[in-house]
């Protein structure tokens, strides 16, 4: 009923999903796995988000708060995961295997910015007029989880928990960009978990 009552808002929501989503689909078709950040793809996703988001990406007065709260939440989740894996004698390695920290932080940080600009920026912002913050949190979380379907369950649950948590932070701060660094580094660490299986 919300879609029928607001066809313009529904069209903007579809564009917010499909515009950056097309870049993701092309990157996947070219062989880029879900948790392998590509600089060109990240830049194109950011550009697509800026074009379709209509001012819903940044709240400059709350960006630092958004970044701090999301970083704290991700750090708590990563510590809990690391301790859980340690119970089984497994060590979760944090950082690049080749020691190139600059490239690692840049690529994952940019990928995190692109992901959050899309999911908690463009998609979240476009879903608000259709169903308020509940639909925005659900839509952005399910899209993030769906992108990682078929991956190890730790990665899928990671995107479920952080999707809901980041959605709550986004609803509170009205800022998506501040979530990017925590998303990128957290995703990098959790992607390493698949090597432990």
- Rounded Cα distance between 140 and 119, Å, is 5
Q: Give the CB-side neighbour count of residue 78, counting CA atoms within 13 A.
A: 21
Please tell me which residue, 196 or 164, carries the higher pLDDT value.
164
Query: How sure is the predictor about 197, in pLDDT bands with cuts at 50, 70 and 90?
Result: low
Nearest Cα neighbor of 74 from 194, 180, 197 is 180
Q: Among 15-29, 79-93, 162-176, which is the least confidently predicted range?
A: 79-93
Per-residue model confidence as pLDDT tens digits over 123-136 = 999 999 988 999 99
Predicted TM-score (pTM) of the model is 0.89
Quote the pLDDT of residue 85: 83
Q: Are 189 and 137 in contact (CB under 8 A)?
A: no
- Burial of 97 per CB tally in 10 Å (0-12, 13-18, 19+): exposed
In the predicted model, what is the mean pLDDT of residues 64-72?
97
Contact 163, 141 (CB under 8 A): yes
The 10 Å Cβ neighbour count of residue 137 is 22
Average pLDDT, the chain: 88
Distance between CA 70 and CA 39 in Å, rounded? 23
Q: How confident is the model at residue 83 (pLDDT cuts 50, 70, 90)?
A: confident
Q: How far apart are CA 49 and CA 69, in angstroms?
A: 23
The crossing angle, in degrees rounded to 10, of helices 63-86 and 180-191 is 20
Q: So what's the pLDDT on residue 4?
A: 61
Give, in order, the Cα–Cα distances in Å from 25 to each of 3, 51, 64, 112, 147.
25, 18, 31, 17, 10
> What is the chain's alpha carbon radius of gyration, rounded to the nearest angstrom?
16
Q: What pLDDT does residue 79 have?
A: 87
pLDDT category, 63, cuts 50, 70, 90? very high
- Say what the pLDDT of residue 196 is: 62
Reference 181, options 92, 75, 77; nearest CA is: 75
């Amino acid at each position: 009923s919300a879609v029928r009552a607001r066809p313009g808002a529904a069209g903007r929501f579809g564009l917010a999903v499909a515009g950056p989503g097309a870049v993701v689909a092309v990157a996947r078709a070219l062989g880029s796995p879900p948790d392998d950040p590509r600089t060109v793809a990240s830049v194109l996703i950011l550009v697509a988000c800026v074009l379709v988001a209509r001012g819903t990406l940044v709240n400059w007065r709350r960006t630092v708060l958004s970044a701090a709260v999301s970083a704290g939440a991700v750090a708590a989740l990563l510590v809990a995961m690391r301790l859980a894996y340690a119970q089984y004698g497994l060590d979760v390695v944090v950082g690049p295997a080749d020691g190139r920290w600059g490239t690692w932080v840049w690529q994952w940080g940019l990928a995190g910015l692109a992901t959050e600009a899309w999911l908690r920026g463009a998609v979240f912002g476009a879903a608000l007029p259709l169903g308020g913050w509940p639909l925005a949190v659900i839509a952005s979380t399910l899209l993030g989880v769906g992108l990682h379907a078929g991956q190890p369950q730790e990665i899928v649950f990671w995107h479920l928990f952080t999707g809901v948590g980041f959605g709550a932070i986004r609803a509170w701060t009205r800022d998506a960009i501040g979530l990017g660094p925590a998303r990128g580094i957290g995703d990098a660490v959790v992607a390493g978990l698949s090597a432990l299986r």
